Structure 1
């Protein structure tokens, strides 16, 4: 149920559903409901009907869709056809505006539209509604207390001293990049139209993705996110004084990356990002406890971010498993904005900002972040480990081996390799990081002793100290104590 007080959203901005389907609440005053025509299936909730339909192939969906208008509407759900397409991509296809039309190779003139205006279903209407809400109420009027700091530039020393744990936006470095001067969607299509890029679960020529980008009504549009773009596009990357023909280079304050000691064995680190309005990423943390920078070349992006620690809960509407390996949140960015954005803005630690073309945003290690394109955008992002977060990276690689990502399959035991290379190139930094990990471990043990035994080693034989047994006394710090 939408909260009408959460945001000032004009209902006039939402067009009618193409089949006339209405939200479930309208059934209360309706004279009749098309749903009664589906027979025994009428006892099932809409969500379960969609789940059953997910088991069918394309031919079966078409057949059941011919039985009545209600099933016609259910079998037109785009997520059904998107799943079929991804499981079995048709050869030589052309994007035709919807997943159903593309999978069936239907030109627009052959797409039938039936009047299903007497069908009332949140399951069918809500994705359409979410695909058409205005982003303006969510990305404007950012509270001053939440605003991400904006700076012209930072030196490496300034970054290391004061900014490694803070999000910020730099407004100058990216404007010097050759790709900022020359790249646009049109220019990339002209030069790389036949080059295949990764867009979530599909690998498409850029020209096909361009067709999709300019003609889709998905609730969560496909996001082109390619890790191999440098080699595919024949780009050179590096400092201008070292690589005269460089297409771009990391801003100077992000120049240090301790993962570079691994050479070709390092995990994926750089991505090309292209997407239409509304595309983006739901809440997540960057992999392997890395930090990141995200530079916008065209368009603009809205960011909302939260710090992460054992003392803080995840962002509103985000649920994390005990080992933090699984993150559950609403399926789309729009649904999160509708249900949780107002609460998020009031949550301590929340920061927000818009990164426009020619600007670059810093994502500190461990920070939760959601990003959505306000308009069609092109960006480049890169992950890195600054020395201030070496301890966090080592802790992650050593304790969460099952969550490590981005390494080639033939790179075994990334933690051991990383440590071995650091011993050669940065022994002092490695020693400092180990000392911090030791202090962290000892701190957890002391906390555990306090909780379990009601005393610490320093209490000794203090007669006033509680004896044995469990005496949990949770304070206000919300610490997430782990058994050492």
Structure 2
């Protein structure tokens, strides 16, 4: 057993850190795999906290005064330290060594001050410290019991199969071969569905793979959440990481970066892809270059994805899978329905709080969600495209490494919802350039020039909705209104939540 104080010695040389490591355990010695879907043992041997009840030894006793603090608080305190400080405190005892090995600590340091050049080495810690994987020390911390340390590792290795298979028939997302614009507008604009044929006509469907993109765009820099990496670096990360929530490449500027042409093939013969005709109507197009962000390329490894959210600015969206497959679970949004299980929303819906990772939500809430009214699920496979209606909650996770293209749009049936959002939730508007002042007025002005009749219809619906909110508020506060009764307000029923069943979906102010 090496002297723990000899581990992680380092010196700063400009922007790099040079480390000398010794290893007392091979990387695989603490693994315990008993089946194809079994969770491997924690690389340091850390166990869930419940195991401490029968343990004869607990390494936590060695951290002195800190042992009175919850593990979560210790982790929060360590977040305030820089790299050298984490290394020094990690040298004091095995328990602190395990706490300072938490990947989220090193990921935050890397993102906060990324090296000018680096090679991905399998973990955020090794990459930040520039440690060859073979030199990463593994100490036996098998007498340390901590959910805070064990659970992220556990969540990073759970099998997705129990959650994405055996979808109840009542929950299945509808699957169609194709839709006409008229069919979409009449029957499907408010429903999620999967189309199985249109994407297979796209040139990118025939040409794009990870390897083909790598051969053409290895040095192209793409946005992957909080980092901007050359594609070759992201592919190295994609193929070799153990993050609980793997980075998701999600780039809004991929079309110019990749030199792509987009448009209907009869108008743009060299188009790489085009929206299916049923999604062709998009009223944000009246803003031209002032429109908000609308199209993204999405690439990620298995387990990467997006936790529950609604699409921005009350838009609808389509998501086309070029390679791989994605699992979707979705819920309608309504003032009469709560958000999905495990999701908590502020009164104005501007703040959404949910578990930190997709895996943690699956572990804790998926079974309840599957039984919840309105839940629908499905797998969008290679060459298929999924419709996300405006306002629907959705979580999506890659079942395997995947490439996808997504685009947001405003169809005719959701024009009123978009006007309502832009007018009444200005603080939640996103995706516009900073120089675009008052998006609502810009949008209304341009719509009045290009689609005056549709605009007036939508504004009339919006006024009716606003009046409905006021009327319902008056009913709550004052009881029956004069118009609804015999003019005698003295006999009103007082405070009431009896909204009736008019099919409307309005929020009480």
TM tier, shorter chain?
over 0.9
Give the SS at the match of 2:158.
coil
* Distance across 2 between alignment mates of 1:303 and 1:476: 33
* Distance across 1 between alignment mates of 2:332 and 2:226: 29
Contact 1:199/1:224 (<8 A) preserved? yes
* Distance across 2 between alignment mates of 1:44 and 1:289: 44
Residues 52 and 294 of structure 1, relative CA distance in 2, 3 Å threshold: same
Q: Say which of 238, 251, 262 aligns to 1:226.
A: 251
Residues 473 and 416 of structure 1, relative CA distance in 2, 3 Å threshold: closer
Instruction: Within 5 Å, give how 1:169-248 maps onto structure 2.
Output: 169-248=194-273
* Distance across 2 between alignment mates of 1:420 and 1:12: 57
* Distance across 1 between alignment mates of 2:165 and 2:371: 15
Unaligned runs of 5+ in 2: 1-33
Contact 2:292/2:430 (<8 A) preserved? yes
* Distance across 2 between alignment mates of 1:459 and 1:265: 46
* Distance across 1 between alignment mates of 2:329 and 2:132: 40
Unaligned runs of 5+ in 1: 1-8
1:268 is matched with 293
What TM-score results when the alignment is normalised by the length of structure 2? 0.91
Give the SS at the match of 2:292.
coil
Confirm or deny that 1:424 pairs with 2:455: no
Contact 1:459/1:465 (<8 A) preserved? no
* Distance across 2 between alignment mates of 1:473 and 1:251: 43
Say which is worse superposed, 439-448 or 283-292, in terms of deviation: 439-448
Confirm or deny that 1:91 pairs with 2:119: no
What TM-score results when the alignment is normalised by the length of structure 1? 0.96
2:496 is matched with 472
Instruction: Within 5 Å, give how 1:6-17 maps onto structure 2.
Output: 13-17=38-42
Contact 1:453/1:466 (<8 A) preserved? no
Greater RCO (Cα-Cα under 8 Å, separation 6 or more): 1
Q: Deviations over 1:152-175 (max 9, x none)?
A: 000001001100000000000000
The structural deviation recorded for 1:426 is: 0.6
Give the SS at the match of 1:92.
coil
Confirm or deny that 1:68 pairs with 2:75: no
Confirm or deny that 1:282 pairs with 2:307: yes
* Distance across 1 between alignment mates of 2:173 and 2:436: 37
The structural deviation recorded for 1:451 is: 1.2
2:64 is matched with 39
* Distance across 2 between alignment mates of 1:156 and 1:79: 46
1:128 is matched with 153
* Distance across 2 between alignment mates of 1:332 and 1:367: 20
2:420 is matched with 395
Q: Say which of 183, 190, 197 aligns to 1:165.
A: 190
* Distance across 1 between alignment mates of 2:269 and 2:244: 43
* Distance across 1 between alignment mates of 2:467 and 2:80: 52
Q: Deviations over 1:214-265 (max 9, x none)?
A: 0000000000000000000000000001000000000110000000000000
Contact 2:469/2:506 (<8 A) preserved? no
